[in-house]
Amino acid sequence: MIEIEKTGVPAVPIVSGRFVEDAVASSRAFGMPDLQWVVVPRIYRNLEHDLCRSQTADAIDDLIASLTSSIDARESGIDTAGARNYEGEDRYDAVLAMNDDLIGEDLGDGLPLFPATKEAVEAMLKGTNLAPDHVVCDMPPGFGIATVEKIAINSVMAGAKPEHLPVVIAAVKAISKIGGQGGKSLLMSTSPQAPFLIVNGPVIDELGFNGKSAIGPGRDNQVNTVVGRAFAMCFRNIGYWYPGKMDMDTIGTTRKFIQCIAENEEMSPWDPFHVDQGFDRDESAISIFITDGELDQQDQGNTTAEGLLKNLAYGCVFGTKSIQEGGHTQRLILMPPDVAGPVGKQEFTKQAAKEFIQKNAIHSLGKMIHYMPLEGEARVAERWKWLENMTEEQRLELNFPILDSADDCYILVVGADRAKTAIFPSGPSPVTEGIDQYRP
């Protein structure tokens, strides 16, 4: 609606009840804080037709009034500018007061925060060669200005160290390059999309990233957790990715406690992922994927490459196949060494493995598209309209690859011993950003 208004045509969005705060935040972030809208109580997407008509009819008078009047710019209600001072009987008491305040305003992730004192931020800034006021990017989804100092402040609050800062800066830069406008529409969706960060290169050993049992808590994953948390804090307080304000998940996901893991390069039979992306092996880089779910695909005894890959391909049909205009189905595969090793030794290149998976990841097309009714559905792409002429039984009997191309499959070797593969529906395509350019 903002884009329509920019053409000179009056536009008034119809906003469903729980999206009002999101509408305030979004209209400010996208440059039109005085955009007007009307509010209806229910979300339209899965609403019965009679209720769609009745709640729209009830809003007509308000809609007309909005088209013929004006309002002042709305305030977000979130103060992220300026210094804050906290006092207490001792430092510990002051830190507790800070946490009560910041977490109460939803400026944290719900876990205890470290105080971003002037001294702590100055120490953090020594971790990069960039000036504090250097603008890294406009950070989605709310397009706050990501300066190095702001990134450093959020990194301090997450418990990161100065040597971690270049990794966080690279991740912030990378997210701004994801899809259209930094993957804005996905990250603001009611689905549980979340960024997933993976590092490659010498920085893995230099900083202590874990590429084995890499996803989760514990001593071995301390660096993974802290760097991912620093990025997540930037995402919230610079990108304005707050629940109910530009993050409208229906249920949510633990993947939003973002982790930054490493590829297990030492146990991979292939080049590491950043080399696939055009970097040299001795360069350090970080890749960002947008994931939408997670599946543990276990294997209970296959030893041949074909057997291992066929089982993995079956796991890739977990999820849906997009039949919308511009929709694209991708899969991120974290393949453990006990799968990658035999596959590589049996003369499968990474590309050949991806082609095998794409060829064998087939399933009933009818089942993969149950998420969207076909008849009269405007969002179905023209190239899929032929499905409307088929019966339900015919669609269910039609097997189809979930991936359009082998290039929609991304393989990284991650994990310890045992053939348990993690498969993530993902997309848009990942972005890889170099880390070394941000180091002192």
Q: In this model, does residue 389 exceed pLDDT 80? A: yes
Angstrom distance (rounded) from CA 200 to CA 268: 12
> Please, what sign has the CA dihedral across residues 156, 161, 162, 166?
negative
pLDDT of residue 137: 95
List % helix, strand, coil for the chain (3-state, nearest 5): 40, 15, 45
Q: What is the pLDDT of residue 246?
A: 78
Residue 186 has pLDDT above 90, yes or no: no
Please give the Cα distance from 294 to 318 (Å, whole number). 9
Confidence (pTM): 0.89
In the chain, the percentage of residues whose pLDDT exceeds 90 is 60
Provide the pLDDT for residue 401.
Answer: 93
Q: How confident is the model at residue 334 (pLDDT cuts 50, 70, 90)?
A: very high
pLDDT higher than threshold 90 for residue 310: yes
CB 260 within 8 A of CB 197: yes
**Coil/strand/helix, residue 190:** coil
409's enclosing H/E stretch is strand 409-413
Cα–Cα dist 304/339, whole Å:
9
Say whether the peptide bond before residue 141 is cis (omega within 30 degrees of 0): yes
Cβ neighbour number for residue 106 with a 10 Å cutoff? 15
Q: How far is CA 249 from CA 110, 225, 259, 283, 379, in A?
A: 17, 22, 19, 36, 21
Q: Output 148 or 370, whichever has higher pLDDT.
A: 148
pLDDT of residue 236: 92
- Average confidence (pLDDT) over 159-187: 87
Interval 107-116: pLDDT, tens: 999 999 999 9
The pLDDT of 387-393, averaged and rounded, is: 90
Question: Contact 352/278 with Cβ under 8 angstroms?
Answer: no
Residue-wise pLDDT tens digits, 321-333: 888 887 778 999 9
pLDDT for the residue 173 = 97
Q: Which residue has the higher pLDDT, 84 or 228?
A: 228
Phi-psi domain of 366 (left: phi exceeds 0; alpha: psi -120 through 50; beta: other): alpha
135 closest CA partner among 107, 186, 184, 176: 176
Query: Looking at the predicted structure, is the pLDDT value of residue 119 above 60?
Result: yes
Residues 234-284: pLDDT tens digits? 999 999 888 888 788 888 888 989 999 999 999 999 999 999 999 999 999
Which pLDDT does position 319 carry in this prediction? Answer: 86
Amino acid letter at 374? Answer: L
CA distances from 391 to 193, 365, 373, 387 (A): 32, 12, 13, 8
Q: How confident is the prediction for the chain on average, in pLDDT? A: 90
Structure tokens at 221: 């994953």
Tokens 């549980």 — which residue?
Answer: 192
Could you report the per-residue pLDDT of 411-427, keeping only the tens digit for each? 999 999 888 999 999 98
Band the pLDDT of 349: cuts 50, 70, 90: very high
Q: What percent of the chain is modeled with pLDDT above 70?
A: 96
Confidence grade of residue 183 (pLDDT, cut at 50, 70, 90): low
CB 285 within 8 A of CB 224: no
Summarised one tens digit per residue, pLDDT across range 80-109 is 566 889 999 999 999 999 999 999 989 999
Instruction: Please state the domain extents for the chain.
Output: 2-67
pLDDT at position 245 is 80
Sign of CA dihedral 263, 266, 268, 273: positive
pLDDT score at 82: 67
Q: What is the pLDDT of residue 74?
A: 65
Phi, psi of 312 (to 5 degrees): -65, -40
CB neighbourhood size of 412 (10 A): 29
Residue with tokens 């800034």: 125
Average confidence (pLDDT) over 390-406? 92
The larger pLDDT score, comparing residue 77 to residue 103, is at: 103
User: Tokens at residue 101, please?
Assistant: 């305040």
* Max avg pLDDT among 108-112, 165-169, 377-381: 165-169
The average pLDDT across 35-61 equals 85
Is residue 157 within 8 Å of 121, Cβ to Cβ? no
Q: Which residue has the higher pLDDT, 353 or 247?
A: 353
> Would the pLDDT of 78 be above 60?
no
Two tokens, residue 158: 């997450």
Residue 49 in this model has a pLDDT that exceeds 90: no
Looking at residue 104, its pLDDT comes to 92
Average pLDDT of span 35-43: 85
295-298 and 431-434: which strand pairing? unpaired
pLDDT surpassing 80 at residue 58: yes
